[in-house]
Amino acid sequence: MKNYLLRHLQVFFYTLGQLAHTPLSSFMTMAVIGITLALPAGLYVLINNIQTASAGWDGKAQISVFLKPGTTQQQAQALETKIRRLRPVESVQYISPEAAMEEFKHLSGFGGALDALEHNPLPAVLVIRPSDGHSDPESLQALVASLRGLGNADLVQLDLEWVKRLHLLLRLAERGVWLLAVLLGLAVLLTIGNTIRLAILNRRDEIEIIKLIGGTNAFIRRPFLYSGLLQGLFGAGIAWVLVQTGLLLLAGPVRELATLYTSPFGVQGLDTSTSLALLASGAVLGWLGSRLAVGRHLREIEPS
Amino acid sequence: MIHFSNVFKRYESGYDALRGVNFHLEREEMAFLTGHSGAGKSTLLKLITLIERPSRGHCVVNSKNLLKLPRWRIPYFRRDIGFVFQDHRLLFDRTVFDNVALPLVVSGCSYKETLRRVHAALDKVGLLNKEKMYPITLSGGEQQRVGIARAVVNKPPLLLADEPTGNLDEALSDELIDLFQDFNHHGVTVLIATHDLRQVRRLDRRVLQLAQGQLIYDSIADA
């Protein structure tokens, strides 16, 4: 057993030496793999970041009932209790015209300019959150209809539909990234397979001789498998560097943009588990690509 | 050690390389296999090393029935046969030491044991002082001796050689064949395919002669 591990270690370092022996061609293969893997990895990080940024806006729909101008606070509060009794409603929040004005001043940045207005043009609003069991489109439509029937309701608006759309779009994009990752994974497989194929053909004589003196297929395969694995691993390493560098370049502008929106959002890079997953998938793809190539071509090379 | 009875070999092209060959080589025996080019010498050696499978007949080598030996057993079977090629077939990107060590590396020998055996084999062929050199810097005779050291390094009971003296002058050829004889004295079965009749006469060992795929002369049977 110890002997077996020792032999693997030997082959590992021998292969490493072989890669170092032809630095340019090894690097080019790894760079191709790196760029190929960087694409899905980068998109994955991008989508992850958009998800984080939009996490504050939860996916729940929200209904705003704008009350007719001149509605008194008593009337509004009576309406609030009435709505609260409706089954699909989880919570109702009353926002008075004054409170709405304060919020608007704060968020819009118009501040002083709004003070110039003679009277508050904003209506009172009741913000309604439907309960979890009733957030599907049909129940929401029904709820909106019943709210429209209430007296004093000027305008009933289903808000944040677009957040839902965004979430759906993100999910779609995520699916797309997976699809892309599968395709590009295949590309890595082919790249490695071709590199290993050439390596095998280059060492045809050596393989024949080793077969003649009793080398098993496993023995002959081993250095090629390590070579594929290492190239995949280093390629993934290059992909990691590419993604992190790209994010570093984006981080500055994104932070500035976020400050404008008073958001604490900052770009998140690849975390440890994602990084490890990236490296592991590179290694596995490299190994697999090499395994496929070796399996195919080793059989063809027989001593004569 | 080698038992052929009524062995035929037809290549896919339809060419009959061997036609009904019968012979028996005992353990620790030494024999020459002679005949013109195309007589079937190489094919016979290829059958013994399982590079080719016989089309018909019965072959037993080193107590293994070659017709029944599964593919995956072939490497293990070949580890008991030392093979010397006419063109040496050394690896030119590795040192003499690494070339000779290859059969031991392949069979997973420990480093200490490898070191000991490679040195013993190189000592035997008189190249101990050249272990760190690359084969390209050696003469033809030396390269052939490296090939022999590689063939015997894991002490196989059977040693085969295909035209080992093909490219060498007389003195070097004598030296080389004497080396084979020496291995034979130490209990190794030796079969040398050659058309160097000078060596055949010089050693007075068993001779098997092939012509057009048939064994036409066996010095023991015909004596």
Q: Is B85 part of a structural domain of the chain?
A: no
Do A254 and A267 meet the contact criterion of CB atoms below 8 Å apart? yes
The verdict on B125 and B190 lying in the same domain is no
**Assigned token pair, B128:** 């101990």
Instruction: Compute the nearest-CA separation of A12 from chain B (Å).
Output: 15
Whether A58 has a pLDDT exceeding 70, the answer reads no
Cut 0.80: pTM above it = no
Specify the CATH number of the domain A62-159. 3.30.70.3040
Assess B113–A contact: CB distance below 8 Å, yes or no: no
**Alpha-carbon separation of residue A153 from A92, B53, B65 (angstroms):** 14, 94, 98
Counting Cβ atoms within 10 Å, is residue A163 exposed (0-12), middle (13-18) or buried (19+)?
Answer: middle
What was the pLDDT predicted at B44? 92
Q: Which of A5, A213, A222, A302 to mutate to probe the B interface, most B CBs <10 Å? A: A213
Residues 6+ apart with CB under 8 A from A166: A54
Interatomic CA distance for residues A267 and A280, integer angstroms: 24
Task: Report the percentage of chain A scoring pLDDT > 70.
Answer: 92
Higher pLDDT among residues B73 and A1, named by residue:
B73
Helix (H) or strand (E) holding B145: helix B140-152
Residue A166 confidence class, pLDDT cut points 50, 70, 90: confident
Residue B189 confidence class, pLDDT cut points 50, 70, 90: very high
**Assigned token pair, B152:** 């015997």
Counting Cβ atoms within 10 Å, is residue A4 exposed (0-12), middle (13-18) or buried (19+)?
Answer: exposed
What is the per-residue pLDDT across A197-212, written as a single tens digit (0 to 9) for each? 998 998 888 899 999 9
Q: Which residues in chain B are closer than 8 Å to A212, comparing Cβ atoms? A: 49, 51, 78, 83, 89
Helix (H) or strand (E) holding B104: helix B96-106
DSSP output for A59-125: S--EEEEEEPTT--HHHHHHHHHHHHTSTTEEEEEEE-HHHHHHHHHHHHS-THHHHT-SS--PPPE
The verdict on B191 and B206 lying in the same domain is yes
Across the A/B interface, how many CB contacts are shorter than 8 Å? 47
What was the pLDDT predicted at A163? 67
Whether A296 has a pLDDT exceeding 90, the answer reads no
Domain count, chain B: 2
**Domain-ending residue, one of B99, B125, B154:** B154
Out of A151-160, A184-193, B86-95, pick the least confident.
A151-160
**Alpha-carbon separation of residue A133 from A167, A228, A234, A286 (angstroms):** 19, 52, 49, 48
Residue B91 phi, psi (nearest 5): -95, 115
What is the per-residue pLDDT across A242-272, written as a single tens digit (0 to 9) for each? 999 998 888 888 888 877 776 667 778 888 9
What is the per-residue pLDDT across B113-135, written as a single tens digit (0 to 9) for each? 999 999 999 999 999 999 999 99
The verdict on B101 and B72 lying in the same domain is no
Out of A14-23, A287-296, B184-193, B204-213, pick the least confident.
A14-23
CATH for B50:
3.40.50.300
Do B21 and B54 meet the contact criterion of CB atoms below 8 Å apart? no
Interatomic CA distance for residues B93 and A64, integer angstroms: 80
Helix (H, G, I), strand (E, B) or coil at A179: helix
Which chain A residue's Cα is nearest to B93? A206
What was the pLDDT predicted at A124? 83
Range of the domain at B121: 90-154
